[in-house]
Amino acid sequence: MEEPEEQQLSLKEYMRMIVRGKWIILICFLTVFAGTVYYTYTAHPVYEASAMVMIKDDAGIRRQLFQVTNIMQQESRINNQVEILKSLTLAESVIQSLQQSPVADSLYILGQRKLEDKFTLDGILPGAVKALFDKMRFFGPDSTAPDSVSTTDLADDFRKHTISVVPKRNTDMIELKVQAASPDEAAFIANTWMKVYQKKDLEESQGEATKVREFLETKVQDVQDTLATAEDALKNYKEVNKVTELPAETEQMIKQLAEFETQYMAAKTDYEANEKRLNYLESQLDENQKAIVDEAASTSSSVIAALETEMARLITEKSAYEQQLRSRGYSVTDDVKMNNMDQRIRGLQESITEEKRKMVASGTATFNTLNLSETLFNSILEIRTENKSLRARIDELSKIVDRYNRDLSNLPEKSLKLARLTREAEVNSKIFIMLREKYEENRIAEASQIGSVRIVDQARPPKYPIKPKKRTNLMLGFLMGLGLGVGVTLLKEYLDNSLKSAEEVERLGLPVLGSIPFISTQKIGRRRDGNGEIMRIESRLITHFAPKSPISEAYRTIRTNIQYSRADKPMKTAMVTSSGMGEGKSTSVANLAITFAQMGSKTLLVDTDLRRPVLHGIFEQSRNEGLTNVLVGRLSMEEAVKPTKIDHLSLVTSGTLPPNPSELLASKMMQQFINRATSQFDIVLFDTPPIIAVTDAAVLASQLDGAILVIRSGVTNRDALLHSKALLDNVKANMLGILINGMNLDRMMGSYYYYYYSSDGKEKKH
């Protein structure tokens, strides 16, 4: 049999599913909502404090290495700072700062103190649950073991669970957020984090100048000691040898030598200071980045070579011209030509650096500087270019100093000793003054470095916690509870293959005779016996004891449908079967028989369930003398027919249970019994075994006018019904329709098979 295509479920049917699953929905809702309420009102509150910093533009960037828009530069700079704020190194510094603070013993984040309201977990929660709570951030380790968590672990937890960094779009602002167990702790941690970050940034910005200052500080001290020794030696020599002055020509030569040697030491000091700066800057690079910078510095072209040659020529020319001026006693500082030469040399240095930038930007150099900071790369490139110029100047000044020393060595022995001592003192004095000036300049430059981080807003203790969000949690719990309940209900309905309503049966292409509602015994009513005592109505014979009940009306509706199921001739014989046990076929056939009898039809009810008969118990009759006794010829039909307490209704019980029920029902004696019964009664109804379990019903169905298939709502599944229908079709039985038994009133809600009745029994369509 080809299964009919099922139709799509309507909104009304979905609503009926929800009504049927109301208890599941209620249980799920109460469980989830109660859990949400418990969590919301017992969870320890979490407070969040926020601070605001601004990242100032680096004043050291004056040129663009690549043609990148300001927006991209700004975004890159802010992203770099965000990563620094979230770095493990900074987190460890913050934790160390917190550990050294005066309030370290009261900070929950350090695990130094338990919360006062820890719910007294010991002895209440299972061990595994308690262990889980103990590992939570706000329920840290006991104060008896403060060193159980390492600084690295605390820093890692700080990064992952305590902080969040929120850059403000289209600005240089970054918001720092900290979550903690109390308002004061949240604000304190946020401010500590911000100050440590600012301190690190300041150290970074001052690092280059600090290295140079430390170098100059050492140099100044060394020269100061040397100067003191030279001055003492000169003084002692003059006192011992009674010499006070040198010839004017020698004095002039020594003065010039001191000037050039001072210039030589100044250039050498600048060169060494630049090397210190380079070492510091390059210490921030990894091996690959160092190789990139070295390759960029060594990059050259014909233009660069020409510029470097011109710069070397100018330096040589400047040194010669400077020597000429000093030998004539002219001022070097005020000379226009000297100043022009200095400007040209600086211009050539800038041009060389710019040409190298252009080569990098055009892709001529075989490396990618996007892995480097643009400021860092520019600084290294400029310092290396400047050092080339200084190296050339040092070489030229060294030659001049050597010439003066040779001239000085030609003096007489006595004058030579005094001249050398005088030169030593003069040179060291000028060098000391020069170094002292450079030291002070660099110290001022170091102090002027204030970093790129500016604190805009300090964190303040928040007034209200951010967790738990009571209103949001309760709303989510409400929605999740309902959603879970509806979801479980719909899933249960989807997995449930049982038939629950007449509409579901009709979608399978099968006719429905009617639906019998399920009403418990307590709802049926009570009646008085002959002695006037109240006794319970027998629910299986409800059509007799409660003829005005909704169930009785439903049976009468089915009776009417059976009567008009055959228009060509009246229905005389019909059997009632089911697909399985416990579906109410015997109760249904008994009540159908009563409804036929109530309308005055002479009705015979035959129990052909020769395996587990029950009709004799329903009607309180003896089973022993019945159908099987007639079929084997030991009893006549008249003797087997027993009257019941109901007018116009007679009963034939099953009789002695035989070993071969199917053979008896298929015998000629059975056919003769049916013929005689139809001749004496208006309607004959047969109660048969379940059709799937045994073949008895199929054997009998082919001999009768019609067959009624009983199913129980919510019990009989779709496949069982279709299989039962197929078995009846195989014997060419006339299936009158499906009787749906035990229909839950909630499942009938909205169905066109649902009725309710007033107290006077009048039927009203709902």
CATH number (domain holding residue 680)? 3.40.50.300
DSSP secondary structure string, 318-384? Answer: HHHHHHHHHHTT--STT-HHHHHHHHHHHHHHHHHHHHHHHHHHTT-SSS-GGGS-HHHHHHHHHHH
Domain boundary among 159, 187, 203: 203
Secondary structure string (H, E, C) spanning 553-584: HHHHHHHHHHHCCCCCCCCCEEEEEECCCCCC
The answer to whether residue 458 is domain-embedded is no
Distance CA 80, CA 64 (A): 18
Domain boundary among 452, 483, 514: 452
The answer to whether residue 480 is domain-embedded is no
pLDDT interval class at 191 (50, 70, 90): very high
pLDDT interval class at 37 (50, 70, 90): very high
The answer to whether residues 634 and 743 belong to one domain is yes
- Pairing mode, strands 706-712 and 735-743: parallel
At 66, which helix (H) or strand (E)?
none
Secondary structure string (H, E, C) spanning 250-286: HHHHHHHHHHHHHHHHHHHHHHHHHHHHHHHHHCCCC
Structure confidence by residue, pLDDT tens digits, 202-257? 777 766 667 677 777 787 788 778 778 877 776 776 666 666 666 666 777 777 77
The answer to whether residues 282 and 334 belong to one domain is yes
Highest mean pLDDT among 45-49, 129-133, 494-498: 45-49
The answer to whether residue 541 is domain-embedded is yes
Is residue 137 pLDDT above 60, yes or no? Answer: no
pLDDT at 474: 92
Which of 320, 311, 383 lies closest to 345, judged by CA?
311
Is residue 49 pLDDT above 70, yes or no? Answer: yes
The answer to whether residue 5 is domain-embedded is no
Torsion of CA 623, 624, 626, 627, to 10 degrees: 100
The answer to whether residues 235 and 174 belong to one domain is no
Region 390-406: mean pLDDT is 79
* Number of structural domains in the chain: 3
Distance CA 449, CA 580 (A): 93
Region 676-684: mean pLDDT is 93
The answer to whether residue 3 is domain-embedded is no
The answer to whether residues 217 and 195 belong to one domain is no
The answer to whether residue 468 is domain-embedded is no
**Cβ–Cβ < 8 Å for 587, 618:** yes
Tokens representing 646 are 């109901």
The answer to whether residues 414 and 550 belong to one domain is no
User: Which amino acid is located at 107 in the chain?
Assistant: L
The answer to whether residue 628 is domain-embedded is yes
pLDDT interval class at 449 (50, 70, 90): low
The answer to whether residue 472 is domain-embedded is no
The answer to whether residues 246 and 373 belong to one domain is yes
pTM above 0.75, yes or no: no
Domain boundary among 203, 233, 256: 203
**Helix 413-448 crosses helix 374-408 at what angle (to 10 degrees)?**
170
* Residue 737 bridge partners (DSSP): 708
- Pairing mode, strands 526-528 and 534-536: antiparallel
Structure confidence by residue, pLDDT tens digits, 475-528? 999 999 999 999 998 888 788 788 888 888 888 889 999 988 875 544 444 444
Region of poorest pLDDT, from 102-106, 116-120, 588-592: 116-120
pLDDT at 329: 67
The answer to whether residues 245 and 156 belong to one domain is no
The answer to whether residues 56 and 131 belong to one domain is yes
Give Cβ neighbours of residue 456 (< 8 Å, ≥ 6 apart): 52, 53, 54, 173
Q: Which domain holds residue 23?
A: 11-203
**Helix 413-448 crosses helix 183-241 at what angle (to 10 degrees)?**
170
Distance CA 742, CA 554 (A): 11
The answer to whether residues 185 and 219 belong to one domain is no
Distance CA 572, CA 681 (A): 8
Sheet holding 163-167, edge to edge: 163-167, 173-180, 47-55, 453-457
The answer to whether residues 88 and 190 belong to one domain is yes
**Cβ–Cβ < 8 Å for 513, 562:** yes
The answer to whether residues 326 and 185 belong to one domain is no
The answer to whether residues 106 and 22 belong to one domain is yes
